[in-house]
Amino acid sequence: MTATETKLKGCFIIEPSVFNDPRGYFFESFNQNTFNELIGKTVDFVQDNESFSSKGVLRGLHFQTGEYAQAKLVRVVKGTVLDVVVDMRKNSPTFSKHFSIELSEDNKRQFFVPRGFAHGFIVLSETAIFSYKCDNFYNNASEQGLRYDDPSLGIDWMLPASEFIISEKDLVLPTLSNITL
């Protein structure tokens, strides 16, 4: 397993070692000791979540604040998504910058998103199963979000907007300039 830090400090692309043979494949999707060593800090995950979505479903951009902020380790079990994060750390040199990566059942990549980032994804395949670990429990009162089409971010979601399927909740999220952190 390898880890490559992105242009956004603390965000890592995790590439597993995949062992293929005539029966199929095997890989270790998570090992706490290896993971902590690769990213250079201890992260204790406490909750696993999974979602199933159809092509064009855009979930996000979400984050939790304060004592309920969450780091996430995300991956795709089935299908393909474009995973996107936005740096919401006010004192960060990359504040308001975003990074996107394609995660799929084929590339088996995982993406570590530290606390202080808004996170979202869009399904590029017909369907997708998206799985993620969180290092803190969900707290509804601490949830915030960022508008997916905020022009100041310039995110390319890789599908035409006419194909987006977005929840009512996500359609009314504020732009970066209207968020109080």
Active-site residues, by number, are 62, 132
The pair phi, psi for residue 159, each rounded to 5°, is: -130, 155
Give the contacts of 170 (CB within 8 A, at least 6 positions apart). 58, 59, 60, 145, 148
Contact 48, 136 (CB under 8 A): no
Dihedral-angle region of residue 46 (phi above 0 means left; psi in -120 to 50 means alpha; beta otherwise): alpha
Give the contacts of 21 (CB within 8 A, at least 6 positions apart). none
* Omega within 30 of 0 (cis) for the link into 61: yes
Q: What is the DSSP secondary structure assignment for residue 164, as one 8-state letter? A: -
The pair phi, psi for residue 7, each rounded to 5°, is: -65, -15
Amino acid at 102: E
Query: Per residue in 77-89, is it b (16+ CB within 10 Å) or e — as a string?
Result: eebbbbbbbbbbb
